[in-house]
Structure 1
Amino acid sequence: MKLKNNMLQQAVKFALATTTAGLFVSGSVVAADESTEETKVNKNVEKIAVVGTRSAPRSIGDSPVPIDIVSGDELSKNGSTDMLDMLQASVPSFNVRQQPISDAASFIRPVNLRGLSSDSTLILLNGKRRHRASVIAFQGGGVNDGAQGPDISVIPSVAMKQVEVLRDGAAAQYGSDAIAGVMNFVLKDASEGGSFSVRQGEYYEGDGDQTVIDGNVGLPFTDEGFANLSFQYKTADATSRTLQRPDAAALITAGNTSVNDPAQTWGNPEIDDDLTLFANVGLDLGDGKSFYMFGNYSDRTATGGYYYRNPQNRGGVYTDADGNLLVGAMDGNSDACPNIPITSGNVLTQQDYIDNVANNDNCWAFNELFPGGYTPLFTGEINDTSLTMGTKGEFKDGFLDGAYYDFSGSVGRNKSTYTLVNTVNPSLGANQPADNSFEAGSYIQLEKAFNLDISKAYDVGLDEMLNVAFGAEWRQESFEIISGEQVSWQQGPLAEQGFSVGSHGFAGFSPESQGISKRQSIAAYLDVETYLTEDFLVGAALRYEDFSTFGDTLNYKVTAQYSITDEFSLRASHSTGFRAPTVGQANVVNTQTSLVNGELIQSATYPPTHPVSAQKGGVELTPEESKSFAIGGVYQSGDFFLTVDLYDIKVEDRIAQTDKLFIDQNDVNALQGQYPNPELLLGGSITFFANDFDTHTQGADVVANYTMELFGGDTKLSLAYNYNSTEVDNAGLYTSDFKVKRLEQGIPEHRATFTFAQDWETFSMFVRTNYFGEYFATHADEPDIGDTYGWSKTGSSAVTFDAELSYYATDAITLSIGANNIFDTEAEKLQEVSSDGSYGSRAIVGGKYYESGPFDYNGGFYYIKASYKF
């Protein structure tokens, strides 16, 4: 049942707010003497991580590198069911934000670990590399411009046993992308039991209604194995944090009755039929051998909006370069249909328009089709599948007797198909599709891999055995572009009369863009680890990798941990790393609409070696290279646990999308014979990917946990803090001062969470406090030019509170109410009025808040949930 009843909404808010406040002012809480049996068990389980070592799994306190472990139950204690938001609440150095009106990045949001781009963090599933998404973040908010990382949002918390977050460079162990760290998602492996839950929620504003149904079941797979199956089904309504644009309001005042109110929607996209299935299978084959298999099928459709196209001034559709009404001659004789000066607030009422366009079958203007302007809608269908199979065990004879092996093969595929509705291909004039719908085409990311890992312990006379691990990997990665339907890319008869080409908002992929680009790599590694003494753990790793496109790379890592006392130890690491340019970044073609100086323009992205890119200096991409240093300490005494880690990461030749580069007549002249009809590019802009700058990131992570008996129950206090500062060095030709500022200040330097969790026999609850420091707030890709409209500013620090209260109705049934941002802390607002007294940026973009904020601009979100465990 949807939470539409206002009294229920207010009751939930009051109950949660009262609970939150009571935690800080009251010491009298009614509670039972003992926790539930499940809580007792969980409390005494030591957190063990597989990631970060090729030796036996270690507790996070005994690891020479910092690791966070977040259990599946911890993840589920969040108003959002998106894995990205769950991780942000648990790992302060992990950042993600909503991205309204950002093409496909609205559907697969890029993330940041330690201030680096989303493709600088390696994602593993059950210890195996996860494939990338096909979506490239063309509007990535500075830090993620052009990033292409895996789609973490398809992974549901109900399938998770735990998530291991390695906050340290690990390319020497795992290969490309592990510059910022590694995240390993570990699937549940129980052979019995399960759960089923239903969750319903919405934002305080009364929109964004969300329904989530998920379940998990563990089944025996013969007498010697398990099959653990999970599913999640989700739908979510769109949100709107929209203002009516003044230009749209002025049109209505001028008598244009075809303008919508609001003219556009600024908010989260609508999500339909988001279905995800995960399976994890294991079978003991006897004699120390086992078989494993895991994978997923995920499919969802999301629909978001674009910016409003004003019928009085949208260039390339309604107007020419001089601001006159753009009139096309359908018979090709442009002299018979001259452009018309716009002399009124409603061109529809001008007599020259009525005589020469409205009553002239040959002369065409888009005011005839969309007299009130239009706002394109963008739909993306995202399909994600993967399968990994392997066997592992112990060699029983030969020179590898006693060694353990793991041999596996995997395949992963992500396809994104784009459709636009309520839009036009301007060059076609009156000959638009009947429903004004355009299938723009698809991107497909396909990855295949085979891995062989072997480890063996040797007695070399040290305090403990020397563990030696070595292995090899073969990978193939391909990026495919499938062309859209002809009307989405076709150059129509009006192209030479000043009308732009391609479906507006997101032009379809043409047959010239279609094709598959591939890359292969082979790798070999060696990893050793041992205790030199009882208190001194050391390790080293070396990895060689050769790519079919740009050559080879060799990286190393050394780690150490020294226990000064039983309670306190120091740890350190040093490593080199790399991130290979993705096949998508090297070969993608895309045409989109961008906001520049408050105006919408078409902007095309080409491969860096494309003739148009080469004319602007584009060259073949090379890998990013990194050097990382870290030092920290671990203190553990009884129920108190504390880690402090300092890190220093230098990345050279970082890859990102260039700023928009405008095509002038000199470019057109030079492109003659190299590119068809270069005249059509004149006045437009292009981008491509380039190795164009270096960065130096320094920071600190603090993690503390304390458990105790309080208020008649079990209490856990958790604090996590991250300081992260990035400086851009050696900015090149394509990295503007504005981008530098976004890279350096776009993410808060200070970020912290503090969680108070309490368990009793029949109740449990938690309150989480989130702190976000100051940051550089900006909107879309508007430059920080200090202009009158207030596109950017220093965003204020903010504190939000999340809370959840659960009641154990029976041993199997749990009922919960909760909320994120319970006190409805407001995001940073765009400027309402400009310095010259006219409309500010809020009015120009039709939105209320800066889209670059570190927390959800939609405000408070509350939910109810019913869970059944068996």
Structure 2
Amino acid sequence: MIHFRTLATSAIALAAIAAFPAQAQDAPDAADTAGNGDDIIVTGTRAAGRSRLDSPAPVDVLSGETLRRQGSTEVGQALATVAPSIDFKRSSAVDGTDAIRPATLRGLSPDQTLVLINGTRAHTSALLNVNGSVGRGSAAVDLNTIPTVALDRIEVLRDGASAQYGSDAIAGVINLRLREAREGGGVSATYGIYATDIDTARGHRSVTGEPVLTVSGWQGIGFGNDGYLTISGEYVDRKPTSRGDFDPRVTPSRVTSRFGDPEVEQATVFANAGVNVTEALQLYGWVGYQDRDSKSAAFPRLATTAAANGVGGIWPDGFLPLINTKSRNLTSAVGLRGDVGEWNVDLNLSYGRNRIAFRTLNSANYSLGASSPTEFYDGAVTYDQWIGGLDVSRKFDIFHSLNLAFGAEWRREGYKIAAGELNSYTGSGAQGFPGFSPDNAVDAHRRNISAYIDIEAELTSRFLVAVAGRVEDYSDFGSTANGKVSARFDATDWFALRGTASTGFRAPSLQQQYYTSITSVVVGGDVLLTGHYPPTNAVAVALGGLPLEPEKSTNFSLGGVVHSGAFSLTVDAYQIKLRNQIALSENIRGTGAVGDPINAILDPLEVQAARFFINGVRSTTKGIDVVANYKARTESLGTLDFTLAANFNDIDVTRVPTSTSTLDPAPTLLGRNRILTLEEGTPRTKITGAIDWAGDLLGATLRTTYYGGVNQPGTAADGSGDILTGKHVITDLELRYQPTKGAQLALGANNLFDVYPDATPAALNSTGVVGYPYYSPFGFNGRYLYARVGLTW
């Protein structure tokens, strides 16, 4: 167990120790590009002109070029590769979460990180992650709806910020900054294949193929004296991967599953624009749209199973159901900003919408027997969000300086579930993903108003104090108030101490409050028809459900900053205490015995298990973030950029909810499996070392990442069903021909040495469906080779 006092002491000591060699550095100053200490940030501060290393809280600045110099063009994957505190799982066989994967910051739930686009709150996905993945129970922002080609940079605030930005900012804030260009442009095409040896518990095979094609481009257009319009677009065609084990139930044994990444065809376009309407005011806005068509695989149904359920005539050799999600995502905003007298004002309105339609393909409804169709429309889920915001700030010549900011926000959210066709949900429903029935249909809304004040005072040239407070009122659960205090002391020109203390909250999402469905869930190898019920539904209440309340947090951080010449080092210790955390309950099922009270509730509903959301989890997260960077410019070799970054994280669940059910015995709401997923579902240690070399025409990036072990817990109380990923090192390499303008070429390899997590043991994989633990923080696809060609102008 890590103690916070020890972490804080270690943070200060490490920064101080590292300061001595840094003071003696005589390297040239780093260039003012994203990634070095001179980056001007807008996240975590409302004072103009503050740099990354001058802030009272830790902020990572990741340039668009850094994100694009990788084999993957997914924002979530690119972020996780370069930011040690972020993880991006590649889950499989978990329904819609296969296609819309969430990211985690500091091991916390994906919905406990706030995502902004150009400083404006982004809308969440309509998808609720309800199956056995890390982030189970969350409805998070889909980072991959914005292509890397549209980004200028990303700022990651690794600190609680609910007092500054509102709900969700418990772990921190990810701010996606779009390109703003009046000229220039480029196009590129990336083509990659997997060249990998797959060693599962029951056998070996090799794969060369499963290609991924990405074509992207952007163009900056100037108009008037200062207007800009930047248009970006991307097309992705990704074939599915398959990493399942050999199925011992068939003869001869072969791979019957498709356990891996889904098949994806995706098109995205973004436009970002701004123009001065007066000398002091700028009209700005952006709009982005994405259409994503994904097909992931459910568990295979063998020939014997098909025959036993009356569909053997349709599927004499068995079938593999495919879950087809069609996600359409809209992001837009318009605003007016600039100086009104001595005040800086930003008035904006934004709208976001995500609709996901579900189809089950290559399937059957057992209840319909030989007359069953093989394709089903299962219905759709939709989430939308309107936001109106006003931000006002002014700098005063008080003390050394004082910045006062205040503002207000209005937000309206909506969530809908639309029913599918009759054949998709009647009886046992479509195998793989039963459709939503009219009983599942939902149309819910809520509104929220909030106001904040944020003061940053430089009491002297070396001492900064910041105070922020925010009040919010929600139409469904009431009001919250949160505060934050930050301080920074520059002991010398090269060494500073910084720290923060804050409270935070996360409002229960509409998805958590209203989602309802009946679906097939695999529990201990059995497929159970499981009903998901709103917390206030009569079934949930009988089993212990209550109206949801907001999650609350208390955050502390303490760290040190060293900056001398081209060298910088930040070390920050943190503690996050969460209470009243929302969790998705166990799949509650009866014993089947005569008179069992749970079966008496579930049997009339024709389901075998039930689940719902519940408050009551308490946890403490402690850790240390370390980021060191040295950037050297040489006349003969060009620029060498060395980065070493690490996250050490420990999560301890200290309390779980107890059931208020009057049943005897009352069902267990949260068991060992859910607790260990929270505590051990993400790596406790992640260390990344990178060398980036940029010459006049040539360049290269070498990155190595160490991942600590992760536990994918099973259902056995003694831990015998747990699946461990093991500790592994992943190496990525890219070589580039990169003139500033003209033709460009890059060759690279992700996971150069073809490393996999430890294979799922055969004893825990009786069907052979899975090959590796899908909790693996670096996935389980193996070596990926790619080439990128482009043209810039």
Relative to the length of structure 2, the TM-score reads 0.90
What residue number does 1:599 align with? 526
Contact (CA 8 Å) 1:615, 1:667: kept in 2 or not?
A: no
What residue number does 1:201 align with? 192
Counterpart amino acid of residue 441 in structure 1 = G
Counterpart amino acid of residue 772 in structure 1 = Y
Alpha-carbon distance between aligned partners in 2 of 1:538 and 1:140, rounded to the nearest angstrom: 43
Counterpart amino acid of residue 803 in structure 1 = L
Contact (CA 8 Å) 2:246, 2:768: kept in 1 or not?
A: no
Residues 1:450 and 2:388 are matched in the alignment: yes
Counterpart amino acid of residue 174 in structure 2 = M
Alpha-carbon distance between aligned partners in 2 of 1:548 and 1:478, rounded to the nearest angstrom: 13
Alpha-carbon distance between aligned partners in 2 of 1:598 and 1:44, rounded to the nearest angstrom: 50
Counterpart amino acid of residue 609 in structure 1 = T
Alpha-carbon distance between aligned partners in 1 of 2:355 and 2:343, rounded to the nearest angstrom: 40
Alpha-carbon distance between aligned partners in 2 of 1:712 and 1:220, rounded to the nearest angstrom: 36
CA apart distance, 1:426: 2.0
Contact (CA 8 Å) 1:244, 1:843: kept in 2 or not?
A: no
What residue number does 1:227 align with? 229
Alpha-carbon distance between aligned partners in 2 of 1:264 and 1:42, rounded to the nearest angstrom: 43
CA apart distance, 1:57: 3.7
Instruction: Select the structure that is richer in strand.
Output: 2
SS in 1 for 2:209: coil
Alpha-carbon distance between aligned partners in 2 of 1:161 and 1:97, rounded to the nearest angstrom: 24
% of aligned pairs identical? 35
1:776 to 685, 708, 711: 711
Counterpart amino acid of residue 518 in structure 2 = T
1:411 to 337, 347, 351: 351
CA apart distance, 1:58: 1.4
Residues 1:708 and 2:632 are matched in the alignment: yes
CA apart distance, 1:746: 1.5
Q: Mean Cα displacement is larger for which, 207-216 or 589-598?
A: 589-598
Alpha-carbon distance between aligned partners in 2 of 1:290 and 1:749, rounded to the nearest angstrom: 45
SS in 2 for 1:507: coil
CA apart distance, 1:786: 4.8
Aligned pair in 2 of structure 1 residues 544, 810: CA closer, same or farther (>3 Å)?
closer
Q: Deviations over 1:279-326 (max 9, x none)?
A: 1100111231110011200001010111122454x5xx76xxxxxx56
Contact (CA 8 Å) 2:572, 2:625: kept in 1 or not?
A: yes
What residue number does 1:535 align with? 462
Counterpart amino acid of residue 167 in structure 1 = R
What residue number does 1:805 align with? 735
What residue number does 2:663 align with? none
1:736 to 643, 659, 671: 671
Alpha-carbon distance between aligned partners in 2 of 1:667 and 1:502, rounded to the nearest angstrom: 26
CA apart distance, 1:194: 1.0
1:489 to 422, 425, 444: 425
CA apart distance, 1:242: 2.5
Q: Deviations over 1:45-70 (max 9, x none)?
A: 93111010112141111000000000
Contact (CA 8 Å) 1:445, 1:478: kept in 2 or not?
A: yes
Aligned pair in 2 of structure 1 residues 709, 669: CA closer, same or farther (>3 Å)?
closer
Alpha-carbon distance between aligned partners in 1 of 2:211 and 2:757, rounded to the nearest angstrom: 20
Counterpart amino acid of residue 177 in structure 1 = D
Contact (CA 8 Å) 1:455, 1:467: kept in 2 or not?
A: yes
CA apart distance, 1:467: 1.3
Residues 1:388 and 2:379 are matched in the alignment: no
Q: Extract unaligned runs of 5+ from structure 1.
A: 1-34, 254-260, 319-324, 327-364, 397-401, 492-500, 672-677, 833-839
Counterpart amino acid of residue 828 in structure 1 = D
Aligned pair in 2 of structure 1 residues 601, 863: CA closer, same or farther (>3 Å)?
same
Q: Deviations over 1:434-484 (max 9, x none)?
A: xx1000000000100100111122334x122x2111111000111100110
CA apart distance, 1:370: 2.8
What residue number does 2:662 align with? none
* Pairing of 1:598-637 with structure 2 (within 5 A): 598-637=525-564
Aligned pair in 2 of structure 1 residues 140, 149: CA closer, same or farther (>3 Å)?
farther
Counterpart amino acid of residue 787 in structure 2 = I
Counterpart amino acid of residue 734 in structure 2 = E
What residue number does 2:778 align with? 855
Root mean square deviation of aligned Cα: 2.1
Counterpart amino acid of residue 849 in structure 1 = Y
What residue number does 2:128 align with? 136
* Pairing of 1:111-122 with structure 2 (within 5 A): 111-122=103-114
Counterpart amino acid of residue 206 in structure 1 = T
What residue number does 2:693 align with? 758
Aligned pair in 2 of structure 1 residues 44, 568: CA closer, same or farther (>3 Å)?
closer
Counterpart amino acid of residue 730 in structure 1 = R
CA apart distance, 1:637: 0.4
* Pairing of 1:332-481 with structure 2 (within 5 A): 365-396=310-341, 402-433=342-373, 436-460=374-398, 462-464=399-401, 466-481=402-417
Counterpart amino acid of residue 277 in structure 1 = V
Aligned pair in 2 of structure 1 residues 799, 294: CA closer, same or farther (>3 Å)?
same
What residue number does 2:620 align with? 696
Q: Extract unaligned runs of 5+ from structure 2.
A: 1-27, 196-206, 659-668
Contact (CA 8 Å) 1:828, 1:853: kept in 2 or not?
A: no
CA apart distance, 1:808: 3.4
CA apart distance, 1:809: 6.1
Counterpart amino acid of residue 113 in structure 2 = T
SS in 1 for 2:541: helix
CA apart distance, 1:42: 7.3
What residue number does 2:255 align with? 262
Q: Deviations over 1:759-783 (max 9, x none)?
A: 22221001001110122135xxx42
Q: Deviations over 1:124-158 (max 9, x none)?
A: 000000000011111252x4111101110111111
SS in 2 for 1:247: coil
Contact (CA 8 Å) 1:561, 1:570: kept in 2 or not?
A: yes
Aligned pair in 2 of structure 1 residues 448, 810: CA closer, same or farther (>3 Å)?
closer
CA apart distance, 1:413: 0.2
Aligned pair in 2 of structure 1 residues 214, 683: CA closer, same or farther (>3 Å)?
closer
Aligned pair in 2 of structure 1 residues 40, 49: CA closer, same or farther (>3 Å)?
closer
Q: Deviations over 1:805-835 (max 9, x none)?
A: 0013684221110111111112220113xxx
Counterpart amino acid of residue 612 in structure 2 = F
CA apart distance, 1:667: 4.5
Contact (CA 8 Å) 1:719, 1:755: kept in 2 or not?
A: yes
SS in 2 for 1:49: coil
Contact (CA 8 Å) 1:692, 1:735: kept in 2 or not?
A: no
Alpha-carbon distance between aligned partners in 2 of 1:40 and 1:120, rounded to the nearest angstrom: 32
Alpha-carbon distance between aligned partners in 1 of 2:208 and 2:451, rounded to the nearest angstrom: 55
Alpha-carbon distance between aligned partners in 2 of 1:750 and 1:417, rounded to the nearest angstrom: 38
Count of residues in correspondence between the two structures: 740
CA apart distance, 1:669: 8.3
SS in 2 for 1:286: coil
Alpha-carbon distance between aligned partners in 1 of 2:296 and 2:718, rounded to the nearest angstrom: 30
What residue number does 1:544 align with? 471
Contact (CA 8 Å) 1:662, 1:683: kept in 2 or not?
A: no
Residues 1:724 and 2:661 are matched in the alignment: no
Contact (CA 8 Å) 1:207, 1:238: kept in 2 or not?
A: no
Aligned pair in 2 of structure 1 residues 371, 41: CA closer, same or farther (>3 Å)?
closer
Q: Deviations over 1:590-625 (max 9, x none)?
A: 222222121222212111111111111111100000
CA apart distance, 1:666: 4.9
SS in 2 for 1:48: coil
Residues 1:831 and 2:761 are matched in the alignment: yes
CA apart distance, 1:571: 0.3
Alpha-carbon distance between aligned partners in 2 of 1:712 and 1:515, rounded to the nearest angstrom: 62
Alpha-carbon distance between aligned partners in 1 of 2:717 and 2:209, rounded to the nearest angstrom: 35
Aligned pair in 2 of structure 1 residues 669, 112: CA closer, same or farther (>3 Å)?
closer
2:171 to 180, 189, 203: 180
Q: Deviations over 1:546-571 (max 9, x none)?
A: 00000000000010100000110000
CA apart distance, 1:248: 2.5
CA apart distance, 1:641: 0.4
Alpha-carbon distance between aligned partners in 2 of 1:161 and 1:748, rounded to the nearest angstrom: 29
SS in 2 for 1:262: coil
Contact (CA 8 Å) 1:39, 1:759: kept in 2 or not?
A: no
Alpha-carbon distance between aligned partners in 1 of 2:79 and 2:726, rounded to the nearest angstrom: 23
Greater gyration radius? 1
